[in-house]
Amino acid sequence: MPGEIIAEHVLITAGIHVLERMRHVRFMRCHVWKPNVEVRVSIAAILAIADGGRYLLIRNWRQPEAFGPIGGVYKHREEAQPELEAMQFRPEGIDVVMKNDLRGFLPRRRLGRFLKWFERKDDREMPGDCLRRELREELSEIGLENLRVPAQLALRRVRTVCEGPEVVPGQPLFPYQFRLFEVFALVSSGRRMEEFTRALIGQAENHPALLLAGAPDIVSGRSADNRMITQHSAYVIGKKRSRPETPTFSRSAGT
C-alpha cells in the first residue's frame, strides 16, 4: 500500500511537470514568433448549472441572438494597474461596465507573464466574487433581480480550458487570441443555496431569456426550438469546442 501511494504521487507530480513544461514551450514561442504583435486576452469564470441532462444558458446582452453559460471575465483591482501597465496590457473596454475587465490586448511576448500574474491571485477577483457579481448583473438584465443571489457561493471547479494563442479568422487588426475559461459548478451548501438553484432552474422552463439545453444542442449550436448557442458553451460539458470562434470580438458572448 505505501508503495502504491508513493507511485501514485510520483505519477501525479510527473504529470503536472509535463503539463507545465508544455505550457512553458507554448508561451516561449510567443517570445520568438512575432513577439511584438498584440494578442487579445480574456480570462473568464463560467457556471455549469445542470438539471439532469440539461444545462442552464442565458441570453447574452452583447449577442442577444445567442445563449451561453452564466459568467464572464474577471476584474482586477486598481492596485494591479502598475503591473498590468508594465506588461503593456491595454483594456478592450472603455465604458463603465467593462472597467477593470481582464479582457484586452498585450504583446505576445508578455502572455506568459500575464498568466503567471493571474495565477498568483493578487489584486483580482476570486471565482466566488466574479460569479456572484455576474449572476446579479445577468439576472437583473433579464428582469429577475428578485432572485436573490446567496451572499456566499459554494463552488466546485469542474475544469480549466485554454484556447490558443490562435489565429481568429476575419480579424485583420488583432488576429491572435488567447482565452482561459475556469468552469465551476454550484455546490449545495444549505437551504438558501438549494432554493436559489431550484428557483433559477424553474424560471428557465418558461423565461424567454433562459434556456435549458442538452449536450447535443450545445454541440450543434442550436436548441430544439432553433435558438442559437455560443461556441464556448461547449466547456460546460467538456474541454473541446465543436465549432470555430465567432470572428467579431466586440460581440463575443461576454468573453
Domain boundaries, the chain: 1-33, 35-251
DSSP state of 118: H
Q: What are phi and psi of 53, to 5 degrees?
A: -95, 15
The reported pLDDT for the residue numbered 169 is 75
CB contact at 8 A, 70 and 132: no
227 contact partners, CB below 8 Å, separation of at least 6? 66, 67, 211
- How would residue 23 be classed by pLDDT, with cut points 50, 70 and 90? low
Match 442552464 to its residue by C-alpha cell: 56
Say how many C-beta atoms besides its own lie within 10 A of residue 74's C-beta.
Answer: 25
Q: Report, in angstroms and rounded to the nearest whole number, the Rg of the chain calculated over CA atoms.
A: 19
The reported pLDDT for the residue numbered 32 is 57
Report pTM.
Answer: 0.83
pLDDT tens digit sequence for 129-143: 999 999 999 999 999
CB contact at 8 A, 87 and 114: yes
